[in-house]
Structure 1
Amino acid sequence: MKKISNAAGSYLTGTAIADAIMEYATALWNQRRVAFVDIPFVNGQGVIERAQFLIGWANQIATVSARAIGSELREPETERHLRTEAKLTAGVIIARPVETPDYTTFDAYEL
Structure 2
Amino acid sequence: MKFLAQAVGTINPPAGAVSIPAGQSETSFVAGIIRGGIQFILIIGFIVSFIWIIFAGFRFVFSGGDEKSISGAWSQIYWGLIGLVVVVGAFAIIRLVEAFFLVDIVSGGFLLPRR
**TM-score under structure 1 normalisation?**
0.25
- The structure richer in helix per residue is 2
**TM-score under structure 2 normalisation?**
0.25
